A and B are shown apart, each in its own frame.
Chain A
Amino acid sequence: MTSPAPYTPYHPRWYRRRMSVWWWLKDRAYVKFVLRELTSVFVAFFAFLYLWQLRAVTEGPDAYARFLARLQTPFFLTVDIVALAFVLFHTITWFNLTPTAMVVRVRGKRVPGWIVAGSNYLVWVVVSAIVAWIFTRGLP
C-alpha cells in the first residue's frame, strides 16, 4: 500500500501491511506472471533485431553479410535462444488466455475454451509453415 485508500477512514490502530518491492517473488503464480510480462522485452528485442537486418539490407550486400555474420557469434546465438524461449512462452500463454478474454458463441452455446485455444495453435502451425517456406526461398 503506497498511501491510505481514499475510501477507508484512517484508523491509527489498524495495521496496514506494506507491499514489498519483491512482492512478485512471494508466490509462484506471481513469478510466472512477471516472466510472462517480461516476454514483451524479448518481443521488442526481436522487432528491433529485424529492423536492424532490414537496415543492413538497404546498405548493400556487404553490410548484409556482416550483419548475418554477427548473428552467428556466440553472443547473438545465446541471446536468440533465450529470446526464442521467451517468445514461445508469450505465444503459449497468449493462446491459452484467449478463450478467457474472448467469448465465442455458436447458436447460443459457448464454444469450449480448448477449441478456441486449439484453433489458435492450429493456425499458428499453418502460418509458421507458410512463413518458413516463403522466407527460406526469398523471391528468386
Chain B
Amino acid sequence: MTGRFTPIMWTLFSVGGTVAAFLFPIHLFLNGLAFPLGWLDAPSYEAFLALVQHPVTRLYLFVMIALPLFHWAHRFRYTLYDGLQLYHLTVFIAVLCYGVALAGTVVAAYTLWNIA
C-alpha cells in the first residue's frame, strides 16, 4: 500500500485517534457507567432526541463515530499484520479493516441523516 493511499489512511488514523482521545473517555463514562448505574440522570428520550436532531450534534456525532473507526482500522490492520505475522493475508486484512470502517461510516451517515 504505497503512493497516496497509506498517507491518507494514516491521516485518518491520526485525526480519528485524536477525536477518540479527547471525546471517548467522557462519552463512555456517561453512557457506560454514569447513566446505567444512576450516578447521573440520563436525559429523557425527548431531550436526547432533540439534541441529536440538531444539525451541529449530527455533524459532531458523525465525526465522533466515523473517524475513530478509521483509527481502529489502520491500527488493527498493522496489529494483525505485525503481531500475528499474517503477511500472506495482507490484502484481505486491509480490505476487511477499512471495509468495516467504511460500512460503519455509511451506517452512521444514514442514521444521522434520517434521525426522525
Contacts and interface: CB of A to CB of B under 8 A. Distances in A.
A136 interface: yes
Given A71-B35, A131-B27, A136-B40, A43 B20 contact: yes
B111 A51 contact: yes
Contact of A87 (B24, B35, B87): B24
A47 B83 CA distance: 24
A47 B72 contact: yes
B108 A40 contact: no
Does more than half of chain A's interface fall in helix, strand or loop, or is it mixed?
helix
Contacts of A9: none
Interface string A15-56: 000010100100000000010011011011011111101110
Given A48-B104, A83-B32, A37 B79 contact: yes
B47 interface: yes
B95 interface: no
A57 B51 CA distance: 11
B26 A131 contact: yes
B36 A68 contact: yes
Does more than half of chain B's interface fall in helix, strand or loop, or is it mixed?
helix
Most buried by A among B32, B64, B100: B32
B22 A127 contact: yes
A54 B32 contact: no
Most buried by B among A128, A131, A135: A135
B92 interface: no
Contact of B25 (A76, A91, A120, A136): A91
B54 to A, nearest CB: 6
6 contacts: A37-B83, A46-B68, A54-B115, A57-B45, A91-B20, A124-B22
Interface of A: 2, 19, 21, 24, 34, 37-38, 40-41, 43-44, 46-51, 53-55, 57-58, 61, 64-65, 68, 71-72, 76-77, 80-81, 83-84, 87-88, 90-91, 94-95, 120, 123-124, 127-128, 131-132, 134-140
Interface of B: 17-18, 20-33, 35-37, 40-52, 54, 61, 64-65, 68-69, 71-73, 75-76, 78-79, 83-85, 87, 100, 104, 107-108, 111-112, 114-116
